[in-house]
Amino acid sequence: MQDDVIKQKKTALKIGIALLEEYCPDAFLDPDIQFDAEEKNGIWRVNNVFEREGISEDGQMWTIDGGEIYVEFRKDNGEIIRIGVDD
């Protein structure tokens, strides 16, 4: 059995950020952009992290996640599965 090629979160982040910068360069115009990586079922997903929040007319606080750029790739061999934008 082959060992995983991308074992650590910090390695996945470096690879994911490099790919996203190549394919989604406009997202990197914001100097405060932040990224996170999560592994699930042998797939790494690296995406930008941000929250949009506000207050509704009735005074309730709300937060919307979305509009993130992401890349997914296999932990065992690094194969890119998809690069995209969530709306």
Residue 1 lies in a domain: no
Residue 2 lies in a domain: no
- The CA–CA distances, whole Å, from 39 to 11, 48, 49, 57 equal 12, 15, 16, 38
Nearest to 4 by CA among 37, 35, 50, 41: 41
Q: Give me the number of domains the chain comprises.
A: 1
Residues of the domain holding 74: 9-85
Residue 36 lies in a domain: yes
Q: What are phi and psi of 84, to 5 degrees?
A: -165, -170
What's the whole-model pTM score?
0.79
pLDDT in tens, 50-74: 766 777 888 888 776 666 899 999 9
50 DSSP assignment: -
Residue 3 lies in a domain: no
